[in-house]
Amino acid sequence: MGNNTGGQGLKVGKTLTESDVVELSALSGFTPEKVREWHTGFMKDCPTGKLNKKKFIEVYKQFYPTGKAEKFCEYIFRAFDNDSSGSIDFCEFLIAISITAQQEPKKKLEWAFSMYDIDRNGFIEKKEMKKIMDAIFDLLGEERKGSNTPQLKVDQIFTRMDANGDGKLSKEEFISGCLQDDYLRRLLAPSAS
């Protein structure tokens, strides 16, 4: 379950071995120097080697000072916390950064799918999408009125994306729908545009 990062078995301690650097570089696509740089910064901010949800939300809220970021941050945190341990270790952090930093829209959309698939059953149901839309509206300080409500956005998304009409989105439907529709891609995965 969770994101298949390929590095879930890698346990990095407070210091990086040369083999850790080589493996993390291969997994993330970052140069060995960049891996070391990220690790130094991570350990400075998280001396225990773990980033807990509270600290993650505290840091993330700085990017959205006018919105309510807590709920959205919880969904992002869950998507980053591959092993559901309640904290993000350096390997999970680095893989998440590499996914969100890369240019390949499909990879970003795969990660976005994992965030929206709250129960991790391989599908996004309307109730899951509604929870995320509520969190996005809170994050951005969006007013809920007229045709601008989370439920209407969810209905529009499912009308456009649910190709087989089964009331849930598979990863393929989600990715295909976002790649074919600029509006949906910007709404659901802004960094994949």
Residue-level pLDDT, tens digit, the chain, 193 residues: 333 344 444 666 678 899 999 999 998 889 999 999 999 999 998 999 999 998 888 877 777 777 788 888 888 888 888 888 999 999 988 887 887 676 678 888 888 898 899 999 999 999 999 999 998 888 888 889 888 899 999 999 999 999 999 999 999 999 999 999 887 777 777 666 5
pLDDT of amino acid 61: 78
On whether the CB atoms of residues 115 and 79 are closer than 8 A, the answer is yes
User: Cα 182 vs. chain centroid, distance in angstroms?
Assistant: 19
Which has the closest alpha carbon to 121: 189, 174, 171? 171
Look up residue 78 and give its two tokens: 């869950």
Kindly report the pTM of this predicted structure: 0.70
- 60, exposed or middle or buried, with CB in 10 Å at 0-12, 13-18, 19+? middle
Query: What is the DSSP-derived secondary structure letter of residue 148?
Result: B
* Total residues belonging to the chain: 193
Q: Residue 120 half-sphere exposure, CB side, CA atoms within 13 Å?
A: 12
What domains, with CATH codes, occur in the chain? 18-101 (1.10.238.10), 105-192 (1.10.238.10)
CB < 8 Å & 24+ apart, contacts of 44-48: 47/14
Containing H/E element for 96? Answer: helix 90-101
